[in-house]
Amino acid sequence: MVVYSNLENRGYNYDMSTQKNIINVLLTADKEDWLIRCKNTGEKIIDYETHTAEFNKVFNDLQNAGYPVLLYNTSKMTPYQIAKDIVNIANSIEVEHAK
């Protein structure tokens, strides 16, 4: 929501304080894979570099504010591997908060 508000000049002000108890996940893809996926799904080809830079900026903003943010490259991991890792991390966070 923040990324597209910034890219499309929507003027949305995002309150990061609402991120308590939320794990944000940024899914990326190598440009070559992204282009193939866009072609196969009929998605509009957008400026990969501009969008990637904006997603990384918001990722860093959240991370610098101390909120949990996970980053996965979908060209390197399967959806199953990513989901399994997220569940493991969420479980470890839950255990830490229970102490």
Least confident of 18-22, 44-48, 63-67: 18-22
Q: Are 86 and 25 in contact (CB under 8 A)?
A: yes
**Number of CB atoms found within 10 A of residue 51's CB:** 14
> pLDDT tens digits for 54-77?
999 999 998 998 888 999 999 999
In a domain, 31, yes or no: yes
Predicted confidence (pLDDT) at residue 39 exceeds the cutoff of 80: yes
Residue 18 lies in a domain: no
When divided into structural domains, the chain yields a total of 1
What pLDDT was estimated at residue 46?
Answer: 87
- Above 80 in pLDDT, residue 18? no
Domain around 57: 2-10+23-98
Tell me the C-alpha distance between 86 and 91, whole Å.
Answer: 8
**pTM for the model:** 0.81
Instruction: State how far the Cα of 17 lies from the Cα of 66, in Å rounded to an integer.
Output: 10
Identify whether 61 is part of a domain.
yes
